[in-house]
Amino acid sequence: MREGERTTLSLALDGGKAQSVTLTPALAASLLEVLRLVSSGRGFRMIPVESELTTQQAADLLNVSRPFLVKLLEEGEIPFTKTGRHRRVRADDLFAYKEKRDAARSDALGDLARVDAEDGLV
């Protein structure tokens, strides 16, 4: 797959006639990642970005406790809506927070590695 080019995928199931599908670059990359996960025995979830998640579902996706997630919501870290007394989090807002959090963690780890290298600890 070359960057930015559409990809054609051909599949033949159970010896049947091959069918071809043209994929966008983003879809081809996503499908390739799914195939890698499945072939390595790892699980995955497909969640439409427009989905509204319960606080428990959102907490599970972030691998945090539900009370910690509620604290993030109340502090304005992640947007949410209320349906009656229940909070709902849009999946795209949750994924945006996760990307921001993961990038901050990666930056902090890079800074620690740089300091260790400067101090001759590595």
- Helices (DSSP H) in 1-122: which residue ranges? 25-39, 55-62, 66-74, 91-118
Angle at 99 between CA 95 and CA 100, to 5 degrees: 115
14 within domain boundaries: yes
Question: For the segment 52-71, what is each residue's pLDDT rounded down to a tens digit?
Answer: 999 999 999 999 999 999 99
| φ, ψ for residue 97, nearest 5 deg | -60, -45
27 within domain boundaries: yes
33 within domain boundaries: yes
Domain of 109: which CATH number? 1.10.1660
Report helix, strand and coil shares of the chain as percent, to nearest 5.
50, 15, 35
Taking 90 as the threshold, does the pLDDT of residue 11 lie above it? no
46 within domain boundaries: no
Count of domains observed in the chain: 2
Task: Give the range of the structural domain holding residue 61, as residue numbers without chain letter.
Answer: 52-118
Question: For the segment 84-107, what is each residue's pLDDT rounded down to a tens digit?
Answer: 999 999 999 999 999 999 999 888
Taking 80 as the threshold, does the pLDDT of residue 121 lie above it? no
Q: Looking at the structure, tell me whether residues 111 and 89 fall in a common domain.
A: yes
Mean pLDDT of the chain: 90
Q: Looking at the structure, tell me whether residues 84 and 113 fall in a common domain.
A: yes
